[in-house]
Amino acid sequence: MEPASAVQASRIGLGVTLGLTASLAFATSGTFARPLLSAGWTPGAAVFWRVAAAAVLLLPVGLWVMRGRLREVITEWRMIVAFGALAVATAQLMYFAAVSRMSVGVALLLEYLAPVALVLLAWVRTRSAPSRLVVAGSLTSLVGLLCVLDLTGASLDPLGVLFGLCAMVGAAAYFALGARATRLHPLALPAFGLPVGALVLGLAIAVGVLPYSAPLVDVEVLGTQVPWWAPLSIVVLSATVVAYALGVAGIARMGERLASFVSLSEVLFAALIAAIVLGEVPTAVQLVGGLLILAGVVLIRLASGRAPAGLPTFPDEFEAAQTD
């Protein structure tokens, strides 16, 4: 029989592998949505079909893992509706809208400022100042943001920045809802939340609030013309279905604290994929800014140590026992 420590090490190692794979899967989203957007798809159309198709695939999984316990799903309907409307529809729509106007890496880094936003929100709500480590991390991330925007060396798209910050709000809602105590299976929240997100997006399109255009034409990927459904399939299967499933499985094995650091790799994966597929190479200033944002988030995480599966974390409401 293997020693307990060896079994635990093997379990954690598998969790890290699953977590890294999930981050890589999440990172394909913006890069493979860009060809659709360039071909005339509106962000609303791209996000709607991403969410709707993923919902069709994940809903049966949710029904399976919650079989015999659907009453608990009904009890948690408020959290599921909020998750679908904010963490799914708002976060993904605003991220795709940002990607349509700026590089994938910059848009994702703006979204990754959510931990900083939640620090400020918790500060206002609790009227309790965060630790020096959290303040240092927040300031570091804000300096990094200025570098990523590269106000002196790059043309700034104010609307793209606004969309990126709105995506940050959606991501913050994801973190807050994902961290709530619940009896739901970890897969249940995305499985039941994605259909809600698809419904919200569909209604917005139907009433004309959300512009919709999805020309079924060939698009260019890596210099080659491919059918429109090819990049969309990657976004649905890789960046949504596989990413959520592996992220949840990984965090169950390696724990929330380690998972919070592993999920940071999504930014690096996204930048690498965008450079290879789209030729989007960040400037030196933007690279420094990206590293500062990641360093700031790491500092914040060191002060809290919790994270939902597959995505960046946020600091807990500041604990009285927290020390620097």
Q: What is the DSSP string of 11-68?
A: HHHHHHHHHHHHHHHHHHHHHHHHHHHHTT--HHHHHHHHHHHHHHHHHHHHHHHTTT
The reported pLDDT for the residue numbered 259 is 54
The reported pLDDT for the residue numbered 213 is 94
Residue 5 lies in a domain: no
The reported pLDDT for the residue numbered 150 is 60
Is pLDDT at 252 greater than 50 in this prediction?
yes
Q: How far is CA 317 from CA 137, 320, 321, 323, in A?
A: 16, 9, 11, 14
Element (H, E) at 221: strand 219-221
Closest CA relative to residue 171, chosen from 262, 86, 290: 86
CA distance 77 to 91: 19
For the chain, how many structural domains are there in total?
1
Residue 312 lies in a domain: no
The reported pLDDT for the residue numbered 311 is 38
The reported pLDDT for the residue numbered 115 is 66
Q: Tens digit of pLDDT for each residue in 54-107?
A: 999 999 999 999 998 889 899 989 989 998 999 889 988 898 888 888 877 678
Percent of the chain at pLDDT exceeding 90: 22
Closest CA relative to residue 277, chosen from 108, 66, 39, 34: 34
- For residues 162 and 322, the model is more confident at 162
Mean pLDDT of 150-159: 64
Q: Which two tokens stand for residue 145?
A: 């943001």
Domain, as residue range, for 258: 10-213+225-304
CA distance 324 to 305: 13
298 near 137, Cβ under 8 Å? yes
Residue 4 lies in a domain: no
Mean pLDDT of 236-240: 89
The reported pLDDT for the residue numbered 310 is 37
- For residues 301 and 173, the model is more confident at 173
The reported pLDDT for the residue numbered 309 is 36
Mean pLDDT of 187-204: 91
Residue 324 lies in a domain: no
Work out the pLDDT band at 195, boundaries 50, 70, 90: very high
Is pLDDT at 38 greater than 50 in this prediction?
yes
The reported pLDDT for the residue numbered 4 is 59
The reported pLDDT for the residue numbered 321 is 35
Q: Tens digit of pLDDT for each residue in 93-115?
A: 898 888 888 877 678 778 767 76
Residue 3 lies in a domain: no
Closest CA relative to residue 214, chosen from 46, 60, 85: 46
The reported pLDDT for the residue numbered 56 is 95
Most confident segment among 22-26, 231-235, 288-292: 231-235
**Quick check: pTM over 0.85?**
no
Mean residue pLDDT across the chain: 78
Q: Tens digit of pLDDT for each residue in 264-273?
A: 667 778 777 8
Residue 136 lies in a domain: yes
Is pLDDT at 315 greater than 60 in this prediction?
no
Residue 270 lies in a domain: yes
Work out the pLDDT band at 188, boundaries 50, 70, 90: confident
Residue 204 lies in a domain: yes
